[in-house]
Chain A
């Protein structure tokens, strides 16, 4: 997807540990406040559980844990619901920001010095005024089946 950005691209932004992230607006199904989540025993740590979203079962994934970051201090979290291969996933983030239209020309590839996990799950970086936006690669983020090949 990185090759075909238009002049501007819309992203739903969110914060993880103070860092601004974004996912393409069209991939987002829903934004949720804290929900009643059923924990799933024996599941990988980052799987927070599953929840019922209008009759569909959504698997909740704690983005912090998946990225290997420390647990969030505040109880409250928000979630972004995305669809991946016909299943719904809710990405638990610290907070959800606004929808930003960003200029494609400000796109950069991941700096090679970036932390391995960030590099694995990031499409690239947008240079915004005063901050950087990390674009989360939802497909790779949720692709548990295949091992991520290290380039």
Chain B
């Protein structure tokens, strides 16, 4: 393409973008004369250059727009929304023509007379006789107002341009530059250097005038613009990219040299290398800077978009942009542009309410969308915040169910935050109506994917009624990343620092120990179980034997990595330091190995592979990468309302496998038998600053005096007890289906768990062994129903829910346990039926009495008999309970009474039915 033309295109496009912004500003401050002048100048430059390059169609459109601007500026026409809309339309037309021009290098054929006519009509609205859409610019009469001098000047410059246009060919380029410069800046010095003798004096003339006629302010504003323009040059992006690559290589070489230097105690190279080090660092920084652009560039289009949106939707929207000068890498900027635009649209469209709704909600009529960018520890944080209605959790829920993204049961177990994450799912859109703006259901998932592609994260925080905040965290640059170098199987690997949360050393002497569940390593980290992957076996770097040896090794390094909301640990052999690395793509042959995201050359010249935590997460089992938590929850639920329960399988006492619901176990510990004391007929051990009773599996067993024993710790409130077992076998998720009643004390019965008959522990039995008064002190119990009779248990204590569910299941009931009255009523609404409701009395929010009263009013559940559970069964309680409709009253601690009460109640029910 012609150099001249391509330069024209770049410049005009830039000009148009600026115009978009300035016009929106103008609409808000119609009296800002400086803004007016600046817009007029830009418009004029575009028109002038079009004429110069012989693009009549563009010129005539631009001219008509300029006409209106001229009148705005001169105060002949009031700045109105309609006027601005028209000018914006005019800019769009120009853009459209430019698009074709760029593709074909020809101005497209077409008729703009309609637009021009409308533009002119608007211009004539007040002052007829504006120039027709001719090639020649028609300067408007100057007035002795503010803009007068500028206007005059423009007029002269037009003449100047004409003079140039007539000038001979060879000077064309210089002439254009001169004309441009002249048009752009009020008083352009370069004009003096122009080849044609005639214009020089003309150009000089406006200078003093401008200064004389104009007040100081605008003149000052113009000055820095001039100097900036003179000090910057245009450089091809490819050139910069190339430079960046070279500097990256230089950095690597420098690293190599420094590494060599480190091994040599005294070297004459030390000083010059040190200097080289500094220079290279500065060079790297400098070149990085050339690629840095203020994030405001990505935002430039947003004011216009928001303005148009506000129009279309009849909303009042203020777009506030903070930190627009925060700089980030050009490449990152390009990639973040579209997601950002989409999110702002979303906030404006879905997030903000209609003005009337806002007023009704006690908010100001104008909704606000706030964009805020700032640096934080090598990252850029971008906030997109609206003060709108926030996410509607219920709506999302119903949408999820509608789209089959999750079942009701799953959603029930999630908190609001988790439910909100569904907006990032493909095919999700909560907007009831699909507007032209958003709500097409392609959006947030793409946004998230795009952001994650560049190693960023996006978080969502929403308060219903208050608004929604998206927080995007992205790396400053993609070219050089900081990576943690680790060793596994004698090979080194790099893990991008961005995904590394922390490093944990697990050894016998440390706080953390790797535990194994059926050979799967896990780590307890701050009260959560962290799944672990062994890098060596994942990469098949070890033989079976080595694996066995590794298992015995008790000094491990664990890199805790985060992918989305999923945290996991990577077991490595060694951890070196972090290094700045240049990410290079791997050869195509290796691209389908999903565990690597690239390779790089380290300081010592060795090539290492860069691990991709995403790939590792994806390859370790059925982990849905983006929604680990939710995915695993989904697995827990079967289509039939039967709940799966995670059971801890262990051995103790006799050989038969035993199990206990995992939820009941607070912790697993290894207890050193030497530290166990025997006192008052009980075994005790110091545990977390308290004495904890230890109970053996079988009564009267004498615990060994030496060695370590695994202990299941049960706690509730402030008390703990330990059950000493022989071996922890596995954790199995299975349906809790106790089939055979207990033949021996301490067991509820037997269940088939992982296809093996397993004794299910009766925790009550052991708990009362440790603390005879355990349940008396407790406040809540959980009930479940069975005998294929359905029982609903309402109890806020997870401990009792978990305790009663297996107990009642063993009693032959089908049990559903919920944690609150609210959840129970939800079930009622969902059309579930139960034979008996067992409800706790002491519950937060709504207590058992209130619940019973509510059900009296409920048509559907009115006739379901209710049994109250409480630890405080006074006579008054009993009376009150009967009054509100409880059939019976059972003390929480009395299992037998509960079972017999249930039996009686159900028998009565059946009798009544028969």
Contacts and interface: CB of A to CB of B under 8 A. Distances in A.
B and A form one assembly: yes
Interface string B589-625: 1100101100111000111110000000000000000
Contacts of A51: 607
B605 A52 contact: yes
Contacts of A57: 584, 587, 599-601, 607
Given A85-B588, A89-B587, A40 B249 contact: no
Contacts of B595: 41-42
A44 interface: yes
A47 B588 CA distance: 12
Instruction: Tell which of A47, A59, A89, A145 has the most Cβ of chain B within 10 Å.
Output: A59
Interface in A21-51: 36, 38-44, 47, 49-51
A38 B540 contact: no
Contacts of A49: 607
Contacts of B605: 52
A51 B600 CA distance: 10
B590 A59 contact: yes
A43 B596 CA distance: 11
A87 interface: yes
26 contacts: A38-B492, A38-B609, A40-B593, A40-B596, A41-B489, A41-B491, A41-B539, A41-B541, A42-B595, A47-B589, A50-B586, A50-B607, A50-B609, A51-B607, A55-B253, A57-B587, A57-B600, A57-B601, A57-B607, A59-B586, A59-B587, A59-B589, A59-B590, A85-B588, A87-B587, A142-B589
B579 to A, nearest CB: 15
B607 A43 contact: no
B587 A42 contact: no
Contacts of A43: 589-590, 593
Interface in B473-494: 489, 491-492
A24 to B, nearest CB: 21
Contacts of A144: 588-589
A92 to B, nearest CB: 14
Give the interface size bracket for A toward B: 20 to 34
B615 to A, nearest CB: 10
A38 B590 contact: no
Contact of A38 (B252, B253, B606): B606
B280 to A, nearest CB: 14
B540 A42 contact: yes
B250 to A, nearest CB: 9
Nearest to B253: A55
B540 A41 contact: yes
Contacts of A142: 589
A142 B590 CA distance: 12
Contacts of B589: 43-44, 47, 59, 142, 144
Nearest to B536: A41
Interface string B540-554: 110000000000000
B491 A39 contact: yes
Contacts of A59: 586-587, 589-590
Nearest to B248: A55
Interface of B: 249, 252-253, 489, 491-492, 539-541, 584, 586-590, 593, 595-596, 599-601, 605-609
A79 B586 CA distance: 20
A42 B539 contact: yes
A86 to B, nearest CB: 10
Contacts of A50: 586-587, 599, 607, 609
Contacts of B249: 55
Contacts, number: 62
Most chain B CB inside 10 Å of its own CB: which residue of A44, A50, A142, A144: A50
Given A55-B249, A57-B584, A144-B588, A42 B593 contact: yes
Contacts of B492: 38
Nearest to B594: A42
Contacts of B600: 57
A42 B609 CA distance: 12
Contact of B608 (A38, A44, A87): A38
A87 B584 contact: no
B592 to A, nearest CB: 9
Interface centre among B489, B587, B608 (most CB of A within 10 A): B587
A83 to B, nearest CB: 11
Contacts of B607: 38, 49-52, 57
A127 B405 CA distance: 67
A47 B599 CA distance: 15
Interface string A83-126: 00101010000000000000000000000000000000000000
A70 B775 CA distance: 73
B252 A55 contact: yes
B490 to A, nearest CB: 9
A52 B584 CA distance: 12
Contacts of B539: 41-42
A40 B609 contact: yes
Interface string A121-151: 0000000000000000000001011000000
Given A38-B608, A42-B539, 20 more contacts: A38-B606, A38-B609, A40-B593, A41-B489, A41-B491, A41-B540, A43-B590, A47-B589, A47-B590, A49-B607, A50-B586, A51-B607, A55-B249, A57-B584, A57-B599, A57-B607, A59-B586, A59-B587, A87-B587, A142-B589
B101 to A, nearest CB: 33
B122 to A, nearest CB: 56
B534 to A, nearest CB: 13
Contacts of B601: 52, 55, 57
A145 B491 contact: no
Contacts of A87: 587-588
A40, A41, A144, most chain B CB atoms within 10 A? A41
5 nearest A-B residue pairs (beta carbon): A41-B539, A59-B587, A38-B607, A144-B589, A50-B607
A38 B587 contact: no
Nearest to B590: A43
Contacts of A52: 601, 605-607
A95 to B, nearest CB: 24
Nearest to A44: B589
Contact of B590 (A36, A40, A55): A40
A57 B587 CA distance: 9
Nearest to A38: B607
A42 B595 CA distance: 9
A33 B404 CA distance: 60
Contacts of A89: 587
B494 to A, nearest CB: 11
Contacts of A36: 606
B491 A38 contact: yes
Contacts of B253: 55
- Interface hub of B253, B491, B588, B589 (most chain A Cβ within 10 A): B589
A55 B247 CA distance: 12
A47 B593 CA distance: 13
A51 B588 CA distance: 16
The residue among A38, A47, A85 with the most chain B CB atoms within 10 A of its own CB is A38
A16 B301 CA distance: 62
A38 B490 CA distance: 10
A124 B596 CA distance: 37
Contacts of A39: 491
Nearest to B593: A42
A110 B606 CA distance: 40
Nearest to B489: A41
Contacts of B596: 40
Interface in A46-82: 47, 49-52, 55, 57, 59
A44 B586 CA distance: 14
A84 to B, nearest CB: 9
A128 to B, nearest CB: 32
A145 B589 CA distance: 7
Most A CB contacts (10 A, CB to CB) among B539, B586, B596, B607 go to B607
Contacts of A47: 589-590
Nearest to A88: B587
A40 B541 CA distance: 10
Contacts of A41: 489, 491, 539-541, 595, 609
